[in-house]
C-alpha cells in the first residue's frame, strides 16, 4: 500500500474554487519538475508532482489523504494517471491535527508493506504523519518505508530519499530517555541501528533479581553502547548515549565485589528508580550473603546441598534456631560466644523480613514516599553494619 498526503502542487491554483489555473485555450498550466529515485531504481523524468511520480511507477493500492480542496484539485490534474488504479481517498479537515494523525495511525496498524510519502500536504499534515508513523512503530512494528522528495534544484529537480533512519533515531532517543529514567526497555522489534535485545535482557535480569544475568548482560550492554557511540548515524544523540553510560557507572564495580556488595549496589540502583520490592529483595539477599561470607570458614567444614541451604543454616545460627541447624548442632556454644554481634545482625534481619512481607502484600497504610524513605534508611543501616565489620571475628 502506498499512502500519500495531497497538496496543491503540480499546477497553478485557483484558491476560490480549488481548481487548477488554465490558459486561454483551457489547458491546465502545469509547473512540472524532474524526479528520480535511486532507492526505487527509477531514472530521472519529468512529472507533474510526486503523486504523479508514484502513480506512474507503481502498480499498488493507493490511499490519498487530503482536504476536500486538495483532493478535488489533484483529481483534476491527475485524471489520466488515476484511470485503472486502485485508489481510495480519505478526506481530512482543513486544520484538524487529529484527522491526519488518526488516519495515518489506522492505515499503518491495519496494513503491511506500506510506503508513506510525506512530500506534499499543508503545513502541519506531513509533521503529524511522522508523529503517527513513529507511534505506530512502537505499537506494532510493520514493514513501513517513509519517503520524501528532496529538492535538489529549486522547483526543478527532486530526488526521493528514505526517512526511516531519522524516524528510528527519534525512536531510539525516546527509548534511551525512558531507559535512563527507569532502567526498563520497551520491546521494539526490527531496529536497525540498535540491538534492542541487549537492553531488554539487561532490564529483565535487573528486575527479576538475577545477579548473574545482570553481570552478563551489563557486559553486553557496555559493548552495545560503544557501538552506538561510534555509529555516525547516531552522532546527534551522542550526549544521550553518554547519559546511559553514566547511569550505569555504579554497576562497573560489580566485577570486583563480593556477592553481598553486589546485591547492596543493586538495591541502591533499584530504589533510586522506584522499584521498591525489587530493591528490598536485593538488600535482603545482601545481608544473607554478608553473613554467609563471614561464616565462610565455619561453613567450609560442611557439605551443604546448595547455597540456599547454607545461607539458611547461617541465618538460623544468628537467630539461635537450633532445629535442623547443622552449624549449631556441631558448634553448640557458638551462639552464646557471639551473642551480642548475632543479636545486632538478627534485629536488622528481622526488620528486613517484616518490610519484605509487608511490601509483598497489598499496602493499605503507607504511601510510596514513606516506604521509599524507610527503605533508603535501611540500606544505610545495612551498609553501616558492614562498615562496623560485625561478624568479622566469629568466636567458636
- 304 band by pLDDT with thresholds 50, 70 and 90: very high
User: What integer pLDDT is reported at residue 142 of this predicted model?
Assistant: 62
pLDDT at 273 over 70: yes
pLDDT at 205 over 90: yes
Q: In sequence order, which ranges of the chain are alpha helices (DSSP H)?
A: 50-57, 68-77, 79-82, 97-109, 124-139, 164-182, 196-206, 211-230, 238-247, 259-272, 276-294, 296-299, 307-318, 326-330, 334-337, 339-359, 368-387
The pTM of this model reads: 0.77
Taking residues 174-191, what's their average pLDDT? 84
- What is the separation of C-alpha 188 from the centre of its chain, rounded to a whole number of angstroms? 7
Amino acid at each position: 500500500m502506498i499512502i500519500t498526503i495531497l497538496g496543491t502542487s503540480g499546477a497553478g491554483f485557483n484558491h476560490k474554487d480549488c481548481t487548477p489555473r488554465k490558459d486561454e485555450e483551457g489547458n491546465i498550466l502545469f509547473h512540472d519538475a524532474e524526479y528520480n529515485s535511486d532507492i526505487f531504481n527509477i531514472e530521472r523524468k519529468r512529472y507533474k508532482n510526486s503523486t504523479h511520480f508514484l502513480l506512474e511507477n507503481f502498480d499498488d493500492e493507493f490511499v490519498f489523504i487530503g482536504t476536500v480542496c486538495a483532493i478535488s484539485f489533484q483529481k483534476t490534474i491527475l485524471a489520466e494517471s488515476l484511470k485503472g488504479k486502485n485508489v481510495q481517498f480519505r478526506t481530512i479537515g482543513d486544520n484538524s491535527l487529529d484527522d491526519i494523525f488518526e488516519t495515518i495511525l489506522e492505515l499503518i496498524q491495519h496494513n503491511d508493506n506500506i510506503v508513506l510519502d510525506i512530500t506534499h500536504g499543508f503545513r502541519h499534515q506531513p509533521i503529524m504523519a511522522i508523529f503517527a508513523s513513529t507511534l505506530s512503530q512502537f505499537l506494532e512494528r510493520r514493514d513501513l518505508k517513509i519517503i520524501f522528495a528532496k529538492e535538489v534544484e529549486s522547483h526543478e529537480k527532486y530526488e526521493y530519499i528514505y526517512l526511516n533512519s531519522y524516524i528510528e533515531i527519534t525512536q531510539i532517543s525516546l527509548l534511551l530517555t525512558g531507559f535512563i529514567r527507569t532502567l526498563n526497555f520497551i520491546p521494539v522489534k526490527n531496529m536497525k541501528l540498535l540491538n534492542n535485545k541487549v537492553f531488554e535482557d539487561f532490564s529483565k535480569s535487573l528486575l527479576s533479581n538475577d545477579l548473574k544475568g545482570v553481570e552478563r548482560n551489563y557486559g553486553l550492554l557496555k559493548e552495545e553502547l560503544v557501538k552506538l557511540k561510534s555509529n555516525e548515524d547516531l552522532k546527534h544523540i551522542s550526549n544521550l548515549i553518554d547519559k546511559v553510560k553514566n547511569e550505569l557507572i555504579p554497576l562497573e564495580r560489580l566485577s570486583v565485589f563480593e556477592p553481598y556488595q553486589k546485591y547492596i549496589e543493586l538495591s541502591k540502583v533499584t530504589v533510586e528508580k522506584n522499584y521498591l520490592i525489587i530493591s528490598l529483595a536485593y538488600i535482603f539477599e545482601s545481608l544473607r550473603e554478608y553473613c554467609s561470607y563471614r561464616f565462610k570458614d565455619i561453613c567450609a567444614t560442611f557439605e551443604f546441598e546448595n547455597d540456599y541451604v547454607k545461607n539458611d543454616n547461617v541465618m538460623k545460627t544468628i537467630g539461635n534456631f537450633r532445629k535442623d541447624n547443622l552449624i549449631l548442632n556441631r558448634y553448640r556454644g557458638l551462639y552464646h560466644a557471639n551473642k551480642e554481634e548475632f543479636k545486632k545482625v538478627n534485629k536488622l534481619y528481622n526488620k528486613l523480613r517484616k518490610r519484605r512481607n509487608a511490601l509483598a502484600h497489598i499496602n493499605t497504610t503507607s504511601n510510596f514516599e514513606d516506604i521509599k524513605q524507610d527503605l533508603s534508611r535501611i540500606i544505610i543501616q545495612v551498609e553501616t553494619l558492614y562498615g562496623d565489620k560485625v561478624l568479622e571475628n566469629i568466636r567458636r
